[in-house]
A and B are shown apart, each in its own frame.
Chain A
Amino acid sequence: MSVECHGRLFRISVIQWIVWGLLLCGCMSAVAADRLVVYSVNYPLAYFAERIGGGHVEVHFPAPAAVDPAFWMPDADTVAGYQGADLILLNGAGYAKWIERVSLPRRKLVDTSRGLAGSYITVTEGVTHQHGPDGDHAHAGTAFTTWLDFNQAAQQAGEIAAALSRQRPERAAAFNENLQRLQEELLQLDSRMQALAAAQPGLPLLASHPVYQYMARRYGLQLRSVTWEPEVQPDDSSWRELQSMLVRQASHWMLWEGNPRMETRKGLERLGVQTVLFRPAMNRPATGDFMTVMRANIEALTVAFDAPD
């Protein structure tokens, strides 16, 4: 081959690369422009949306890592971010009180637990207050960690997929495929939990905080709650309250949202109570994702159920 011929081939291949490059950029920017902007009020819903939407959605969950998204108040800029979204995923069941105090476009709201509204669990803790002798306002709340019932989580995922498909009907097939895969995994978790609970039905359990109501209902757990914070050392009255609970019914396991302080853990062990870490994953975990956290939770709980009573 002549030098001239080499040169021509080189030029052609350069032009080819440029054309391919331009086409690729074009496709990528088209996909980017077409991506649905989705904002979520907690991590589980954000995770579900990421799984279902894949590359076609841009999921935002702007709560800082250090806050509890259920009791957080976003600033005006963050609210503006939510207002500008194509879809806003709400957990429902009274989760994230801040949405009552801001204005969000109603059409973009997706109440993922819409179908569960009839089976919400009402909690009676908290203060009822009155304004004057004739005005009585009950502050009775609703338990909101709906996703810890994995069957409910699968339904919430289904609502997200339906909302995404309404926005992008042309991608509905892809969304449904992703949903199926996600629901299979969630239902696997569900069966593992059911199998686990069936090993020792009625095993008495304690919870450091009342966040496991739906899980307890679904899997028939005998769960009693105190209101302890992992990072706070319980005071004497808290310990006395626990001791009286143990007198009424012995229990060897306490579920914790986060790792308790060493003194707390030792104190519990002295009462014969072991610590089980079961993280509700309201916020994005430092490592892993929703699935890895939940699998670790179930592993931890397995220890309790596998132990001889």
Chain B
Amino acid sequence: MDSLYVAWRYVTWNRGKTLVLIASITLVAFLPLALQTLLNESERQLRTRALDTPLLLGAAGSALDLVMSSLYFDDEVPARIDMRAPAVIDESGLAYPLPLYVRFMARGAPIVGTTLDYFDFRGLQLAQGRLFGLLGEAVIGAEVSMRLGIGVGDSLVSSPDNLFDIAGVYPLKMTVAGVLADSHSPDDRAVFVDVKTAWVIEGLGHGHQDLARTADSSVILRQDAGTVTANARLVQYTEITPENIDSFHFHGSAADYPLTALLVVPDDDKAAARLRGRFIDDSRYQLVRPNTVIDGLMESIFRIKQVIDAVIVIVAIATLLTIVLVFALSLRIRREELETIFRIGCSRMTTVRLLAAEILIIVTVSAVLCAGLLWLIHINSAALVQGLILR
């Protein structure tokens, strides 16, 4: 007795029908499982990052925007705070602040303006080169290095804020001082610069010819006692080099310089609780625990997922009914064949066995396909989540 052989012949003979059945079953099984895998991975990534970041200080407003920008370098720019905020944290004596200014992009990668302490805090290792030392230097994440094919000594130009922004943001050509080792985190996708370099991109700091000493009078618009007004011919450096670095300087009060957030690292849990207490009623700032914000986000995601699950269940039932219909129709088409095998001397159970063998083959192939696809999703889940969800 060889029902599987006969069933195999039958399903391979009816290729079209078999492929449609396999595709439907595979999809119905694969979709919810893949979705679950990706959601689990997103949650893992979101959680790991959130748990690694005890507190986050930002301007009062959307806590989610603040967390997404500061932890995952999402392109939504939260309301800004200024350099008075780190002083507030410093003065509390309860924590130390890590400034973050995440606003600009360079060839599709977010530019993260911060200080060297960030690398210590995140435990990031260099794969090559060194950390940024001079203004205009950048340290790039592993993925940026791979995607753009650049390494130590190469340069990277910041993207203008918008194409017609002629007054504000000048593209800055940054030199890659180091490349980070793969950390399987959003840091892989970022370009890190000193927060002062980010301010240079913003136009708060700049370098130019010494106006008092310049021999080229054509750049001078007006010269009063002590005040020199330059016209647009004044050379704006778009690259910071050892030759011109001495001319770079910042204008205005340092306290007014912008930041998007502070990573706040409290001395201990008690200090964290006390610090949180201080900011509860603050109208300018919000001090959030990223993990709590992610809790809220995951709740929303899981509510959406429940809806999707319900839809998938309905689709699965519809698919199942379709499959039952397909088999029922196929039994009708094969009535003569089944009658013949009964007349030859087989029981009615033979029909059931043949049908079961066909279903077994189709389900097995679907399961193998589904498992293969899920395996692909699983091994690429970190990258997929970074590429599709946490962009």
Contact = CB atoms under 8 A, between A and B. Distances in A.
A103 B249 contact: no
A106 B115 contact: yes
Interface residues of B, number: 38
A128 to B, nearest CB: 5
A131 B250 CA distance: 14
Contact of A102 (B134, B249, B250, B251): B134
A5 to B, nearest CB: 61
Interface stretch (A75-83, A223-231, A249-257): A75-83
A258 B296 CA distance: 66
A220 interface: no
A100 B116 contact: no
Interface of A: 73, 76, 79-80, 83, 97, 100-107, 127-133, 137-139
Interface stretch (B230-238, B270-278, B328-336): B230-238
B285 interface: no
B137 A133 contact: no
A73 B228 contact: no
Interface centre among A97, A103, A129 (most CB of B within 10 A): A103
Interface string B239-258: 00000011011111000000
Contacts of A73: 245-246
Given A105-B117, A106-B117, A127 B228 contact: yes
B165 interface: no
B117 to A, nearest CB: 5
Determine the main DSSP class of B at the interface with A.
mixed
Given A79-B133, A80-B130, A106-B116, 5 more contacts: A76-B133, A80-B133, A100-B135, A105-B117, A137-B252
B212 interface: yes
Nearest to B210: A127
A138 B227 CA distance: 9
Contacts of A106: 86, 97-99, 115-117
A221 B229 CA distance: 37
A80 B228 CA distance: 37
Determine the main DSSP class of A at the interface with B.
mixed
A239 B230 CA distance: 32
A127 B194 contact: no
B132 A103 contact: yes
Interface centre among A79, A101, A106 (most CB of B within 10 A): A101
B212 A103 contact: no
B230 A130 contact: yes
The 6 closest A-B pairs by CB, nearest first: A103-B194, A105-B116, A130-B229, A106-B115, A137-B251, A79-B133
B229 A104 contact: no
A104 B231 CA distance: 34
Contacts of B226: 127-128
B228 A130 contact: yes
A83 B116 contact: yes
B118 to A, nearest CB: 9
Contact of A97 (B86, B130, B249): B249
Contacts of A128: 226-228
A174 B302 CA distance: 58
B173 interface: no
B289 interface: no
B196 A132 contact: no
Nearest to A106: B115
